[in-house]
Amino acid sequence: MATIEYQPKVENALLRAYLTRLQAHPLLTKQQTSALASASGELLATRLSGVPPAKPTIRLNGVPGEILKKLDSAGISERVLLMGAYGFFVAAPLGHVLTGALQRAFAGRTTARDKILQIIAANLITSPINNAVYIASMAFINGARSVDQIVKTVQASFSKVMVTTWITSPLAIAYAQNYLQPELWEPFFVLLKFVMGTYFNTLAKKKQMELARQERLRKGKEAGKRK
């Protein structure tokens, strides 16, 4: 029996090539996409927020100094590389497993009730897992090394992240269910995560800069009073 290969029904040649590769190598393609999106989002957020990179920013054993200097001059900090590693080794494999399980559970179920149940399942099962792992990973990238530090970070941020997810996720899934072909879901959610991640990362960096500025002013006033 001849094998019939599925061809994505999209007009854009680049998108069609991406979807064809996604079908042939689903996990690897998601890892590469997630790594690029995570690293690019961090780099873009740094530029948009105006955070001045510390010099030298990268400390990687075994990497020639000239390469590190070129990365620094391009604004590619150690955090950008770590975000890329997070996207490749953590976010993409986890999303691949959880999203795949959710899609298999609701395969062929297209009634309004099934669509609502899929949204509920995504928000009560897959989203909490994804968010907890994301917060823990960000805590590690930001310098937390002990289990206690990471757990406390997750506990402090989890509820806020979940509220944001519960607001945006149902709308995004409902839009995809009603207006997108199944093969377009993956690039749609990758783009959505990139935009939202960059936006919130930019806000967080600006907040950190403002807090640091206020702390410097406070210390300056205290030093002036002592004089």
List Cα–Cα distances, 106 to 117, 122, 170, 177, in angstroms. Answer: 9, 11, 16, 12
Confidence of residue 2 (pLDDT cuts 50, 70, 90): very low
Question: Would you state the pLDDT for residue 5?
Answer: 47
Tell me the pTM.
0.81
The percentage of the chain sitting over the pLDDT mark of 90, rounded to a whole number, equals 43
- Distance between CA atoms of residues 204 and 164, nearest Å: 14
| Domains held by the chain: number | 1
Query: Does residue 88 fall inside a structural domain?
Result: yes
In a domain, 58, yes or no: yes
pLDDT at 133 over 60: yes
Write the burial class of residue 23 (CB in 10 Å: 0-12 exposed, 13-18 middle, 19+ buried).
middle
DSSP state of 183: G
Mean of the per-residue pLDDT values for the chain? 85
Is 21 within the bounds of a domain? Answer: yes
Average pLDDT over residues 40-67: 73
Q: CA angle 107-113-116, nearest 5°? A: 80
Q: Which residue has the higher pLDDT, 83 or 201?
A: 83
- Counted residue by residue, the chain has a size of 227
Q: Comparing C-alpha atoms, which of 172, 161, 167, 163 is closest to residue 197?
A: 161
Task: Note whether residue 65 is domain-resident.
Answer: yes
- Domain span holding position 66: 13-191
- Over 50: is that where the pLDDT of 97 sits? yes
Report yes or no on 123 lying in a domain.
Answer: yes
